């Protein structure tokens, strides 16, 4: 038996669906609070010293946190080439704005304190705010559009055709349900960033973070509930009429798909997935409660992590096995069973993941343990420290 045949093609496809989902969740859990802190910067810090304290809570860790975004994107490219090609071309302008925001963030970190001019620093503070707000907004809008279905079709030779002009690839994404998903995403990252600031700061900054974080948690709860009702009664789901073989060739056109019914039909066939939205609601509710408890500093961050895991997982679990449905030609929809790389490619990637992912996790744990503790005024004013 050839080595890669030790694990069936079907199981490898599910494993990589899980791994990529975990990488994207890890990105939201780590870089998510970085973005949340950036979005909160104008509201929780009232002078330059406070702004430096806030910036230095994430300054040492943001680069390591962003590794998960690179890993997730690279894994999608290697494991699900059609998904990478169609989503990145269809969401091209949105992805350009996300990447531009993520590029401006390190530039702002490095250049903000190079000059004492208040206008200079205010300019980079605005860049940090935008780089903390734009990516989660557009990521949420993208998730909303995936649930609604994306306007593309595949030709007989599997060439993808996106049925929208260049500007519609951006503005066409701004559908009401997708905008709601974007608002929930931003609020979720603000709640998460507030939990981080409660852990890493003290005094007035911490108090303001609690206030804004608790308000963001209310928006998360209300928005997530509204999105759920909207999905139940106003968003058509996708379902197979003829399902492709789970270990067959990667050709979406061999299956027959309909765009009707509800995504929530998944709860009838896989009732155990209800744990994901329960985690989302409980996590956000408990995060709100913990943020209002002035003696609790650790659990706001932990509860917000639970909310993020639950809410993101609920989307993937309710859609499975669909990963990029088409609302103009449902038969072109991409699924776990018909849009992956080859059996051998997925196996080789799994071996690499088993080697390198534990190393990344160990290094990340060591960094957070080393940098544990609060950022104070003394830390950013001491000339012997290397603060931003």
Report the pLDDT value the prediction gives residue 170, as an integer from 0 to 100.
66
Report the pLDDT value the prediction gives residue 161, as an integer from 0 to 100.
83
Task: Flag whether pLDDT at 188 surpasses 90.
Answer: yes
Contact of 103 with 109, CB cutoff 8 Å: no
- Looking only at the bridges linking them, the beta strands covering 160-162 and 152-154 are antiparallel
d(CA 177, CA 231): 9
Mean pLDDT within 118-140: 93
DSSP-assigned letter for residue 250:
S
Label residue 167 by pLDDT band (50, 70, 90): low
**b vs e for 132-161, b when ≥16 Cβ sit within 10 Å of the residue's Cβ?**
bbbbbbbbbbbbbbbbbbbbbbbeeeeebe
- Calculate what percentage of the chain has a pLDDT beyond 70: 97
Contact of 384 with 50, CB cutoff 8 Å: no
Q: What is the pTM of this model?
A: 0.93
d(CA 120, CA 128): 13
DSSP-assigned letter for residue 146:
H
């Amino acid at each position: 038996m050839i080595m890669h045949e030790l694990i069936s093609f079907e199981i490898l496809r599910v494993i990589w669906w899980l791994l990529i989902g975990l990488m994207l969740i890890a990105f939201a859990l780590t870089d998510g609070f970085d973005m949340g802190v950036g979005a909160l910067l104008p509201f929780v810090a009232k002078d330059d010293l406070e702004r430096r304290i806030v910036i230095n809570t994430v300054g040492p860790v943001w680069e390591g946190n962003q590794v998960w975004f690179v890993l997730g994107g690279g894994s999608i490219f290697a494991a699900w080439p059609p998904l990478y090609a169609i989503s990145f071309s269809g969401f091209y302008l949105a992805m350009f704005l996300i990447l531009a925001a993520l590029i401006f963030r390190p530039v702002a970190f490095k250049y903000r304190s190079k000059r004492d001019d208040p206008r200079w620093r205010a300019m980079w503070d605005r860049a940090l705010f935008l780089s903390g707000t734009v990516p989660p907004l557009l990521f949420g809008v993208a998730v909303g559009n995936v649930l609604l279905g994306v306007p593309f079709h595949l030709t007989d030779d599997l060439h993808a055709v996106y049925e929208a002009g260049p500007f519609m690839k951006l503005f066409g994404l701004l559908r009401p349900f997708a905008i709601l998903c974007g608002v929930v995403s931003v609020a979720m990252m603000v709640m998460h960033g507030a939990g981080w600031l409660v852990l890493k700061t003290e005094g007035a900054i911490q108090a303001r973070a609690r206030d804004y974080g608790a308000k963001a948690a209310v928006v998360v709860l209300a928005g997530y509930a509204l999105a759920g009702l909207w999905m139940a009664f106003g968003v058509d789901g996708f379902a197979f009429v003829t399902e492709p073989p789970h270990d067959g060739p990667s050709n979406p056109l061999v299956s027959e798909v309909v765009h009707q019914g509800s995504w929530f039909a998944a709860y009838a066939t896989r009732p155990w997935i209800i744990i994901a939205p329960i985690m989302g609601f409980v996590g956000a509710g408990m995060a709100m409660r913990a943020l209002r408890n002035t003696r609790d500093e650790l659990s706001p961050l932990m509860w917000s992590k639970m909310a993020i895991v639950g809410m993101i997982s609920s989307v993937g679990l309710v859609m499975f096995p669909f990963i990029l449905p088409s609302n103009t030609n449902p038969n072109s929809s991409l699924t776990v069973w018909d849009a992956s790389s080859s059996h051998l490619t997925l196996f080789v990637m799994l071996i690499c993941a088993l080697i390198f992912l534990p190393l990344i996790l160990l290094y990340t744990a060591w960094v957070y343990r080393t940098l544990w503790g609060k950022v104070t005024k003394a830390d950013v004013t001491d000339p012997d420290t290397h603060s931003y």
